[in-house]
Amino acid sequence: MKAIATALAVCTSFLAASVVLAQSQKSEKPPDTVAPKYDPAIYSELQKAPEKARNRTNPLQNDPEAVAAGAILFEQHCAECHGSSAQGGKKAPSLHAAEVQCATPGAIFWILTNGVVRKGMPVWSKLPEPQRWQLVRYIKSLGGPVPAVESPAPKP
């Protein structure tokens, strides 16, 4: 009985500590707004989309909920590599870049479907087609580059 009580106490402490740690990690995380530099060649993958794929139109173009749904999907599946605001991360480039924002919805959809497997981006065809189009709507809604955060002036 004593052993069970000890084990329960240890488990509960671990769980409590994990919740506190998760919260503190969230609050300590600085806003990731400075986009890391990426070789522009990475965006050339978009040019590899076949013409037929590039010319596809987004069937959810007029869906008023597509951007909101796409934002949730982005946070769940893409933010880990592309950054929480799609500003780019250690593993993947910014999606605010002109190359992405000027690409056709069809080209972005094609990249989502096929990935860039040899360069680390997995295929996302496991997301059903409507969800990939919702992601495209969100990505196209991001707009141009994120302005860099100015460092605070030193205190006198």
Partner 1 sequence: MVASFCRRVLLGFLFFSVHSFLFPSAALAQENPYFVAYDHYLEEPGNLEIEYFSTFGTQRGGNDFHAYWIEFEYGATAWWTTEFYLDGQTTFNDSTVFTGFRWENRFRPLNREHFINPVFYVEYENKNGADKILKEVEGHDVESDFLVSNAEARKEHIHEIELKLILSSTVKGWNFTENTLAAKNLSNSPWEFGYALGASRPLALKASANRCTLCPQNFVAGVEMYGGLGDRHSFGLHDTSQYLAPLLGWNLPSGWTLRVSPGFGLNDNSHRFLVRWGVSREISGFGSMVSRLFGGRK
Residue closer to partner 1 by CB (options 44, 129) is: 129
Residue closer to partner 1 by CB (options 122, 147) is: 122
Task: Output the smallest distance, CB 156 to partner 1, in A.
Answer: 31
Residue closer to partner 1 by CB (options 38, 91) is: 91
As a whole number of angstroms, the distance between CA 144 and CA 99 comes to: 10
As a whole number of angstroms, the distance between CA 153 and CA 83 comes to: 26
Task: Output the smallest distance, CB 146 to partner 1, in A.
Answer: 21
Residue 156, helix vs strand vs coil: coil
Phi, psi of 84 (to 5 degrees): -65, -25
Task: Output the smallest distance, CB 98 to partner 1, in A.
Answer: 25
Which one, of 68, 90, 69, lies nearest residue 80 by Cα? 90
Residue closer to partner 1 by CB (options 113, 145) is: 113
CA angle (42, 130, 82) in 5-degree steps: 30
Which residue ranges make up the site for partner 1 (CB under 8 A)?
Answer: 4, 7-8, 10-12, 14-15, 17-19, 21-22, 25, 65-66, 68-70, 72-73, 76-77, 80, 90-91, 113-123, 125-131, 134
Task: Output the smallest distance, CB 122 to partner 1, in A.
Answer: 5
DSSP state of 46: G
Is residue 63 packed enough to be buried (19+ CB in 10 Å), middle (13-18) or exposed (0-12)? middle
Task: Output the smallest distance, CB 29 to partner 1, in A.
Answer: 10
Residue closer to partner 1 by CB (options 5, 153) is: 5
